[in-house]
């Protein structure tokens, strides 16, 4: 069973809360409250989540997507420097960069302003080369086989979302 980048970041976040760490996940390009992780995080002490996006999948970004990206980036800055969280997850920010919703230089500034005590986890599809160059740790996940295409199975409740 394939698990994605968001799932891996969530696993790291849940592990950290088990040791008393405070975690904040900021989801870019996601605004749907039916993802299972939304409810799981609500029930997990020391783990918070905020979404910046719409419930729709983006084929071509519109004005609302750029506005949500801008708000998400500003919010991320506040959370990262707040001295309240040990881990901050910027979920799908790599995709937001790829779509041009967020400028890679702004994300690099976020990385530079990060206090030493904060562990920053960045997820997203094709990660920008400048982010890869700056990162201390990179895990690359790649699709080998998925039943979406091989068997025509749609996303399943509790498994993919």
Look at residue 151 and tell me whether its pLDDT is greater than 80.
no
pLDDT at 2: 42
The conformation of residue 43, written as its DSSP 8-state character, comes to T
Q: Whole-prediction pTM value?
A: 0.90
The model's confidence at residue 135, banded by pLDDT at 50, 70 and 90, is: very high
Look at residue 154 and tell me whether its pLDDT is greater than 90.
no
Q: What is the domain partition of the chain in residue ranges? A: 5-150
Tell me the CB-side half-sphere exposure of residue 19, using CA atoms within 13 A. 9
Higher confidence at residue 32 or residue 67? 67
Q: Does domain 5-150 have CATH number 3.30.1300.10?
A: no
The model's confidence at residue 59, banded by pLDDT at 50, 70 and 90, is: confident
C-alpha distances (whole Å) from 85 to each of 13, 40, 121 are 11, 18, 12
Higher confidence at residue 34 or residue 24? 24
Q: Could you tell me what percent of the chain has a pLDDT over 70?
A: 98
Record the tokens describing residue 62, joined without a space: 């519109």
In tens, the pLDDT along 66-118 reads 999 999 999 999 999 999 999 999 999 999 999 999 999 999 999 999 999 99
Region of residue 124 (phi > 0: left; psi between -120 and 50: alpha; otherwise: beta): left
The model's confidence at residue 1, banded by pLDDT at 50, 70 and 90, is: very low
């Amino acid at each position: 069973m394939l698990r994605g980048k968001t799932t891996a970041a969530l696993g790291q976040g849940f592990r950290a809360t088990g040791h008393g760490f405070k975690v904040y996940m900021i989801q870019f390009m996601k605004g749907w409250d039916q993802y299972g992780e939304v409810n799981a995080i609500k029930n997990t002490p020391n783990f918070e989540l905020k979404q910046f996006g719409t419930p729709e999948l983006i084929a071509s970004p519109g004005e609302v997507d750029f506005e949500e990206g801008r708000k998400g980036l500003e919010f991320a800055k506040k959370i990262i420097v707040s001295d309240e969280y040990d881990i901050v997850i910027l979920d799908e920010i790599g995709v937001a960069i790829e779509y041009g919703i967020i400028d890679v230089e702004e994300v690099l500034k976020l990385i530079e302003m990060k206090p030493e005590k904060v562990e920053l986890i960045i997820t997203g599809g094709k990660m920008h080369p400048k982010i890869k160059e700056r990162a201390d740790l990179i895990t690359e996940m790649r699709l080998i086989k998925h039943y979406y295409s091989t068997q025509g199975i749609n996303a399943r409740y509790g498994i993919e979302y």
